[in-house]
């Protein structure tokens, strides 16, 4: 909670607290700050106090979570149109966002938004949309994405979704939610364990593992129709699905031939093709963004380490040498590095390694931190950890500076994965 | 005639007594006056009677042997039935359900990140191997479990390795492959949920489950 020392974070936390009605799935705490934060003011939108949610509050919370922005309180200045902006009042910020939200006779809300460059005194972005009230959160996330992209050069990920498993006693739920934890949708509810959900590249399907047939079986489920099929149900365990970037194949792990080996299979269960076969444990494959390589965890060298091999199989190259055991590798979206869970001296840490320098960097202070995955812009890492005796979600910026904990209202969270950009 | 009858009866009696008499009886008439012819006739009749008696004896003996054999068969059947009953009553004291039997131990435990059955637990696996090889109708499911140190996917693999390790020992012990199935729960079904060695040590185990089908 180092960030709590800084008064400006109090504003955000109070704002978040006010924003979290009963339907909030997750309670959020943020700590730390980025090295080069962009100072910005998010002026409250005119008329938003009449809405069920504060648009500027959601935008502020999104930008705050990224760690790349320093939110400057507008302290009483409340312009809503570009002509109302007196730029000399905004020395100290690089940009400011203004806007309005007005309820229309048909019940929709007209949202106007402008992003202004406070230094060049120009308009950077703008949007006017009419939306239903239940779409206001999505509108606010899109505004935050626009601000993020204009000011950092990278796409924002506030409109993306995450998937995780919520386990509460014997209840196991596979949950899809917005990246800030709102809008929870239960995809599957069962009394048996659910493991390793994985987004298809277009976000339309999930692959996952459940014990509904007593042993671990891999399924693929459509989020559009909710229909699902069995991808692999051989004797032993069927697990660890990972999609190829073109969505045409899954890498999975089977134990049917002794040991735990990596196979490729089509998402309809056909075309099984074995890639490794040395009787050891090879698991948790992850496709490279170009689809040419797989990284995976293996104990072939004694301890559990990360290896890389061509997607055709063959020789594997060991990538990690430091620390005790290393698990759950996933490529960064640009393919230049990978993130993994490092077990050392009784703690799990989230770590990254650059393929070129081969340097391992710890992003976190350690705890029970497992199953990391990158946001699609590569700027944040989502993982599962524990706090206050519960399994929770957490994120850390890819430079390790900003950390966020997201507490579920009930149950323990496991096996999160960040989804891809939504097609709009 | 009386004499004849008497002697015939005596001969028959003697035949009965001797069972296989072939000698002539020395019981004869005392009247010297009796005609030789009558004596000869009697002798001839004697011989015929003896022959008849012998036949009768043989028949009776055969009947007796038959009866004895039948009796023996009945005894045999009764004995078999008793044996079967005894065997049946033995099932209800299956050593698997005997709380004092080593077969009552249905779990083997491991150190961290190890899948080899430890020396202390070998006797348990050997006892189950002996039992299963002697009870080919019995099936067992080996369920591998792990503590939570490691990723859930690695632990799923490790649990399978633990179950497979016990399976190999059972096969070496003469159990048929068709009697054994294996499954891994990884870290998904912990027996103890604490984050300490006291819990972890209980969760690193393979269970021998006879009740899964």
Please state, as a whole number, how many other Cβ atoms lie within 10 Å of the Cβ of residue A15. Answer: 18
Q: What is the pLDDT of residues A299-343, one digit of tens each?
A: 999 999 999 999 999 999 999 997 789 999 999 999 999 999 999
As a whole number, mean pLDDT of residues A4-15 equals: 37
CB contact under 8 A, B188 and A415: no
Query: DSSP labels for A337-405?
Result: EEEEEEEETTEEEEEEEETTT--EEE-S--BB-EEEEE-TTSSEEEEEEEETTEEEEEEEETTS--EEE
Of A195, A236, A304, the CB nearest to B188: A195
CB contact under 8 A, B154 and A281: yes
The verdict on A394 touching B (C-beta cutoff 8 Å) is no
Query: Mind telling me how many Å the CA of B148 is from chain A's nearest CA?
Result: 10
Interface of A with B in 170-199 (CB under 8 A): 193, 195-196
pLDDT of residue B62 exceeding 80, the answer is no
User: Helices B119-134 and B152-172 sit at what angle, rounded to 10 degrees?
Assistant: 60
Residue A128 burial (CB < 10 Å; 0-12/13-18/19+)? exposed
Q: What is the pLDDT of residues A248-305, one digit of tens each?
A: 999 999 999 889 999 999 999 999 999 999 899 999 999 999 999 999 999 999 999 9
Interface of A with B in 91-110 (CB under 8 A): none
DSSP 3-state of B35: coil
Q: What is the pLDDT of residues A104-133, one digit of tens each?
A: 999 899 999 999 999 999 999 999 999 998
Confidence (pLDDT) at B73: 73
The verdict on B188 touching A (C-beta cutoff 8 Å) is yes
CA distances from A388 to A12, A74, A391, A405, A412 (A): 22, 35, 9, 11, 11
CB contact under 8 A, A297 and B195: no
Instruction: Give the mutation candidate from A211, A235, A237 for the B interface (greatest B CB count, under 10 A).
Output: A237
What's the CA gap between A102 and B125, in Å, rounded?
74
Here the ipTM equals: 0.89
Confidence (pLDDT) at B86: 57
Q: DSSP code of A159?
A: T
Confidence (pTM): 0.79
Q: Which residue of B has its CA nearest to A326?
A: B150
Q: Which residue of B has its CA nearest to A384?
A: B151
Q: Pairing state of beta strands A303-310 and A412-418?
A: unpaired
The verdict on A214 touching B (C-beta cutoff 8 Å) is yes
Query: Mind telling me how many Å the CA of A285 is from chain B's nearest CA?
Result: 10
Of B157, B181, B195, the CB nearest to A281: B157
DSSP 3-state of A418: strand
Interface of A with B in 334-363 (CB under 8 A): 341, 343
Confidence (pLDDT) at A336: 97
Please state, as a whole number, how many other Cβ atoms lie within 10 Å of the Cβ of residue B178. Answer: 8
Confidence (pLDDT) at A36: 81
Instruction: Give the mutation candidate from A196, A236, A351 for the B interface (greatest B CB count, under 10 A).
Output: A236
Q: Considering only CA atoms, which of A341, A379, A302 is closest in space to residue A62?
A: A379
């Amino acid at each position: 909670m180092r960030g709590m020392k800084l008064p400006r974070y109090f504003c955000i936390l109070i704002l978040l607290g006010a924003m979290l009605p009963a339907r909030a799935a997750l309670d959020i705490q943020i700590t730390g700050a980025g090295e080069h934060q962009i100072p910005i003011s998010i002026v409250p939108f005119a008329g938003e106090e009449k809405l069920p949610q504060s648009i500027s509050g959601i935008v502020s919370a999104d930008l705050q979570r990224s760690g790349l922005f320093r939110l400057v309180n507008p302290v009483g200045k409340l312009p809503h149109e570009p002509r109302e902006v007196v730029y000399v009042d905004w020395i100290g910020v690089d940009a400011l966002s203004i806007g309005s939200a007005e309820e229309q006779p048909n019940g929709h809300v007209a949202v106007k938004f402008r992003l202004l460059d406070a230094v060049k005194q120009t308009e950077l972005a703008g949007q006017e949309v009419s939306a239903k009230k239940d779409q206001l959160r999505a509108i606010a996330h899109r505004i935050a994405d626009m601000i993020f992209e204009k000011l950092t050069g990278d796409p924002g990920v506030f409109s993306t979704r995450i998937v995780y498993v919520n386990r509460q006693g014997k209840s196991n739920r596979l949950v899809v939610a917005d990246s800030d934890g709102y809008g929870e949708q239960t995809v599957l509810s069962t009394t048996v364990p659910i493991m390793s959900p994985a987004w298809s590249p277009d976000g339309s399907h999930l692959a996952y593992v459940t014990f509904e047939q007593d042993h671990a079986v891999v399924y693929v489920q459509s989020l559009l129709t909710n229909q699902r099929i069995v991808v692999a149900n051989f004797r032993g365990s069927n697990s660890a699905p990972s999609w190829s970037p073109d969505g045409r194949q899954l890498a999975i792990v089977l134990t049917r031939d002794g040991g735990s080996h990596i196979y490729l299979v089509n998402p309809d269960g056909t075309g099984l093709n074995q890639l490794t076969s040395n009787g050891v444990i090879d698991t948790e494959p992850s496709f490279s963004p170009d689809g040419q390589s797989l990284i995976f965890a293996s104990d072939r060298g004694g301890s559990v380490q990360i290896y890389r091999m061509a997607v055709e199989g063959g020789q594997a190259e060991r990538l990690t040498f430091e620390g005790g055991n290393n698990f759950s590798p996933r490529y960064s979206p640009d393919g230049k590095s990978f993130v993994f869970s490092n077990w050392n001296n009784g703690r799990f840490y989230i770590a990254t390694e650059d393929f070129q320098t081969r340097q391992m960097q710890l992003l976190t202070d350690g705890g029970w931190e497992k199953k990391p995955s990158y946001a699609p812009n590569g700027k944040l890492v989502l993982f599962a950890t524990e706090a206050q005796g519960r399994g929770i979600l957490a994120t850390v910026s890819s430079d390790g500076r900003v950390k966020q904990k997201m507490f579920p209202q009930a149950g323990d969270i496991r096996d999160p994965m960040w989804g891809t950009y939504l097609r709009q | 005639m009386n004499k004849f009858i008497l002697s015939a009866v005596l001969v028959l009696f003697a035949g009965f007594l001797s069972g296989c008499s072939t000698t002539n009886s020395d019981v004869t008439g005392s009247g010297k006056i009796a005609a030789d012819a009558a004596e000869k006739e009697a002798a001839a009749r004697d011989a015929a009677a003896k022959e008849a008696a012998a036949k009768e004896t043989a028949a009776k003996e055969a009947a007796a042997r038959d009866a004895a054999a039948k009796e023996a068969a009945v005894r045999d059947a009764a004995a078999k039935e008793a044996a079967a009953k005894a065997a049946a009553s033995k099932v209800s004291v299956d050593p698997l359900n005997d709380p004092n039997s080593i077969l009552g131990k249905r779990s083997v435990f491991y150190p961290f990140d190890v899948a080899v059955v430890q020396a202390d637990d070998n006797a348990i696996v050997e006892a189950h191997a002996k039992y299963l090889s002697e009870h080919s109708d019995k099936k067992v499911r080996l369920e591998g479990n792990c503590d939570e140190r490691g990723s859930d996917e690695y632990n799923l693999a490790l649990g399978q390795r633990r179950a497979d390790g016990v399976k190999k020992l059972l096969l070496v012990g003469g159990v048929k492959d068709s009697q054994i199935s294996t499954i891994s729960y990884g870290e998904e079904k912990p027996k103890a949920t604490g984050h300490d060695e006291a819990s972890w040590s209980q969760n690193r185990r393979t269970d021998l489950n006879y009740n899964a089908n």
